[in-house]
Structure 1
């Protein structure tokens, strides 16, 4: 009998704690897709087109679930930060069915699913159209991936869960003494890649990108040579993103 009051106190504390907590709702997802529109990525190549089309389908299926979910598409080229191609937000909303009968609840869920699937299909179509868009202008000569960081910083200000996808070879190629041109001079090994990334991160931390999930979807076939798919380049980005506070970095 000695421990019954203690159990009672624990029960009351738990009730009080649960009462004070707000009801948890899913945060909206802010998805940013960066499409490489430079000469080094050939979207007309069958393998690349197939891989990137499948990736876009999966990104939309995984991240678009509710009203407020947002999708932006940017082109990677010489002027990445100013190259927003799409800005879409889910409008479909699931009505409150907390007091509804099972039949009415099922009808509401079915209607919401139909509306959401329609929006997802429209999103998919528009992103695939942007994927197929050719960039024949002079901006295709440079690959400014650093310029994606202010885009992520802006997305971070929304308060949503940010997920970023780079459909790119990740070969940064910008002229200038304080920039990286991996087409001319890639890191010679992983140690140099990490050293460069940590050095660059010191100045790039001015962009407060938060802790997004980042996925790099590379346009290389499994049998690509080191010259094509240089592992030191992706090691650079893995290290740089980690230094900037990214929650997770995945390579596909």
Structure 2
């Protein structure tokens, strides 16, 4: 019986190591000396994004899984989830710091090194699973309050600026339709007046960047994960709106901007 348990544990450790090795370079980084990653996920909680829709739910669940797999690699990595709505900058829903730590194996024997790596891999896998569950809970959370009437994406910039102050590598993900919609002077309401073409989008973005450069966001990598199906119309998935954000982020010094 004892021998069977030992063998089972050994097989479990081998399986987890194999699984992590197949997942790409993200976990290999966890035993290197790379600095921490600070992940910001902005979940759109306004009326224009329906996460109960099958296509959106599947796309966003997979995106969350991929984000965690790529960016959660070692002790000190951070992940914050914010809701996008009328009060985005004050809408932090989740704040997580990775606790799993790889023991110092610089002077360890090959056997001890393998044991430490196995234990770390198992701990990190458990922590990733817990983080994914917590983020998915926030994905399906409903916002029935009055804050769902406006979409303040500009308010994500001071959040980025604060993350930039930590010195970590900042990666930002918007799970949103990116339709800025805020009433008042000096603001954009793409629900009422979207840019008519790419030229106007670029013009507006460059003008808006002048007042938004006060936020020192550094050079984060930004990914916009849109909720639109491939057959969505131009009216629904307006390419000029995406062009606005591409230009604005570029003007603010962002490293890379990707659309999915």
Same fold by TM-score, threshold 0.5 exceeded?
Answer: yes
Residue 250 of structure 2 corresponds to 242
Asked whether 1:201 is paired with 2:201, we answer no
Distance 2:184 2:244 in 1: 18
Equivalent of residue 179 in structure 1, options 177, 187, 192: 187
Residue of 104, 112, 136 corresponding to 1:128: 136
Distance 1:138 1:221 in 2: 27
Q: State the partner residue of 1:111.
A: 119
- Please state whether the residue corresponding to 2:194 is helix, strand or coil: coil
Among 89, 92, 103, the alignment partner of 2:97 is: 89
Alpha-carbon distance in structure 1 between the residues aligned to 2:246 and 2:219: 14
Match of 1:50, SS state, is helix
- Per the TM alignment, residue 25 of structure 1 is displaced from its structure 2 partner at its CA by 2.3
Normalising to structure 2: TM-score of the pair? 0.88
Counterparts of 1:228 and 1:103 in 2: how far apart (Å)? 58
CA displacement, residues 54-97 of structure 1 (integer Å, 9 cap, x when unaligned): 00000000000000000000000000000000000001110110
**Pairwise CA RMSD:** 0.7
Work out the CA distance in 1 between the residues paired with 2:109 and 2:219: 41
Distance 1:55 1:207 in 2: 27
Distance 2:132 2:58 in 1: 14
| 1:5-43 Cα shifts (integer Å, max 9, x gaps) | xxxxxxxxxxxxxxxxxxx82010000000000000001
Mark the structure with the bigger radius of gyration.
1
1:101 has 2:109 as partner: yes
Does 2:157 align with 1:149?
yes
Equivalent residue for 1:45?
53
Match of 2:229 in 1: 221
How many Å apart are 1:177 and its aligned residue?
A: 1.8
TM-score norm. by structure 1 comes to: 0.90
The runs of 4+ residues in structure 1 deviating greater than 3 Å are: none
> 1:13 aligns to what?
none
Aligned length: 229
DSSP-derived class of the 2:182 partner: coil
Q: Which residue of 2 aligns with 1:189?
A: 197
